[in-house]
Amino acid sequence: MKRAERHHLKADPLAAGLQPLLESMRRGRWAVGAVVVLGVLVAGASVFGWQQWRTSRASEMLASAMAVVDAPVVPADGQAPAGADAYPSEAAKLETAVPRLLAAADAYPSLQQGIVARYQAAVALGALGRTTEAAAQYQRLIEVAGDGIYARMARLGRAEAHLQAGEYGEAIDLLEAESGLADAEFPVDAVLMRLGQSYRLAARPAEALQAFQRLVDEFPASGYRFDAERELDTLDSGQ
């Protein structure tokens, strides 16, 4: 405190009497500030801990479900030992896995583990021939995964589900949209192959020719090249 202020306080009994109260209020403000800062730190730690717990729990649920997906199946010939965790058939295994995958997906729909679980559930449903349910799960994945790779994979999966159900027009719409997106990390050649086959199944040979020809021209090193060339030969011969 400046000398002039101290002199003024000595000369002013009222001010001198209030000084302890003012000092107490200043200390109180510091105490309140410290409490606020501490509260923010505790809240931040709690949120971080909650997020860590959710991530850990989601990982556990996904791992448990994938253990079923990856479990062995009793060999058809009975020659090799099946193991205690083997399932009597692929269908039985997938029927067991689907509820676990969907439980993880529904519990943590926006986490990466939940997204992976929903995709695997949709794949399993498609393999079981439950195409309507598979298409529904792919659609939910499209809505949650945004523009990520799983959203694009889900659109292809939904197209496949439509093909299995004989809904060629719906499948073609999805495949056409994906074939127009340039992405070095995405198998556009595979999309074109399936698009050409979809056109052929829908009795649209001219468009099938265009899709197969585009695959051959734009992806000469593709593993689908020879299949596309065979399709072109078949279409050219009018078979």
Q: Which H, E and C letters describe the chain, residue by residue?
A: CCHHHHHHHHHCHHHHHHHHHHHHHHHHHHHHHHHHHHHHHHHHHHHHHHHHHHHHHHHHHHHHHHHHHCCCECCCCCCCCCCCCCECCHHHHHHHHHHHHHHHHHHCCCCHHHHHHHHHHHHHHHHCCCHHHHHHHHHHHHHHHCCCHHHHHHHHHHHHHHHHCCCHHHHHHHHHHHHCCCCCCCCHHHHHHHHHHHHHHCCCHHHHHHHHHHHHHHCCCCCCHHHHHHHHHHHHCCC
Mean pLDDT of 87-114: 94
- pLDDT exceeding 90 applies to what percent of the chain? 59
**Domains, in order of start, for the chain:** 36-71+84-165 (1.25.40), 169-239 (1.25.40)
The reported pLDDT for the residue numbered 181 is 78
Q: 77: pLDDT confidence band, cut at 50, 70 and 90?
A: low
Q: 8: pLDDT confidence band, cut at 50, 70 and 90?
A: very low
Which of 8-12, 22-26, 85-89, 172-176 is least confident?
8-12
Q: 24: pLDDT confidence band, cut at 50, 70 and 90?
A: low
Q: 32: pLDDT confidence band, cut at 50, 70 and 90?
A: low
Q: 16: pLDDT confidence band, cut at 50, 70 and 90?
A: low
pLDDT of residue 119 exceeding 50, the answer is yes
What does pLDDT average to over the chain? Answer: 82
Q: 29: pLDDT confidence band, cut at 50, 70 and 90?
A: low
Q: 18: pLDDT confidence band, cut at 50, 70 and 90?
A: very low
pLDDT of residue 21 exceeding 60, the answer is no
The reported pLDDT for the residue numbered 189 is 92
